[in-house]
Amino acid sequence: MRLTGLFNILGKKYIQKSAILISQLCLTRNHQVVQRMLNRRDVITTFVYTAIDGIILPADKNRRAIYWTEGDSYMAGASGAGLSRELEIFSGAFIRDTSAGDSSIKSIYERIQSNRDLIRGCDRLIIWDGFPNNSKTRDYIDLISSLIEYFGPVLLFLPPVRISRAPFWHERCTEVQNFFSQNYISNYMDAQAILAAVGDPVKDELDIMRGVVPGGLMQVDGIHLQRHAINAVARSIMLRPHSG
């Protein structure tokens, strides 16, 4: 095989791998040299950093964990209350958040697919689509299941929660919660139960009995959660061990 042919084969492979590596290094905010190098778009730099893959990362014992977060406004935030931000505060990890308000589970899936090579280098992928608008039960089951099969234990999924404001979606929320609690328990976190435990046992007694998010945890719009409720979910995630 000619040398140029070998270069073309190896070049494509290592350039792709190195681009992913360099992006991951930059996410740690601890590699300013790499960040400067990126601006050069230098092929030699690409090969150099591929060559030291396995040297920089293991040696960097102080590397911040990297969490990738996805979802709707429950993750992205509404009126200053979002799970992504609370996770950054409690975990000390660097958060790469691509969530967006009013997302369907299909749009969440598409964003993850478009970033999946980068996400595979993260310590955790956390998904919360708290409000199930624009999505069907089958969408959740098929799309999230396929992501779990691909990412494995790195992925943690919080299904949508039942709220008083949207009784027409209660059945969908329950079906999704039941499916993942029964089939993917190691990738599942029960945000509904966490929020019920945070509610006021007196003022929110009726909501807790009905199996909906306690009214005392909701913002004035009746759809989004107050920050202390999001805070409780973030703390529960950080207390949960994971093998990713």
Task: State pLDDT tens for residues 208-218.
Answer: 999 999 999 99
Query: Please, are residues 237 and 126 in contact by the beta-carbon 8 Å criterion?
Result: yes
Q: Can you give the pLDDT at residue 244?
A: 54
The answer to whether 190 and 179 have CB atoms below 8 angstroms apart is: no
| Domain range list for the chain | 3-59, 66-239
193 torsion bin: left (phi>0), alpha (psi -120 to 50), beta (else): alpha
What SS3 string covers 48-96? HHHHCCCCHHHHCCCCCCEEEEEECHHHHCECCECHHHHHHHHHCCEEE
Q: What is the pLDDT of residue 241?
A: 76
Beta carbons within 10 angstroms of residue 237's beta carbon:
23
pLDDT higher than threshold 60 for residue 227 = yes
Q: Which of 61-65, 167-171, 215-219 comes out lowest in average pLDDT?
A: 61-65
Higher confidence at residue 7 or residue 93? 93
What superfamily would CATH give domain 66-239?
Answer: SGNH hydrolase (3.40.50.1110)
pTM, to two decimals:
0.76
pLDDT value at residue 48: 41
DSSP-assigned beta bridge partners for residue 69 = 97, 126
Q: What is the pLDDT of residues 119-143, one digit of tens each?
A: 999 999 999 999 888 789 999 999 9
The answer to whether 176 touches 183, Cβ cutoff 8 Å, is no
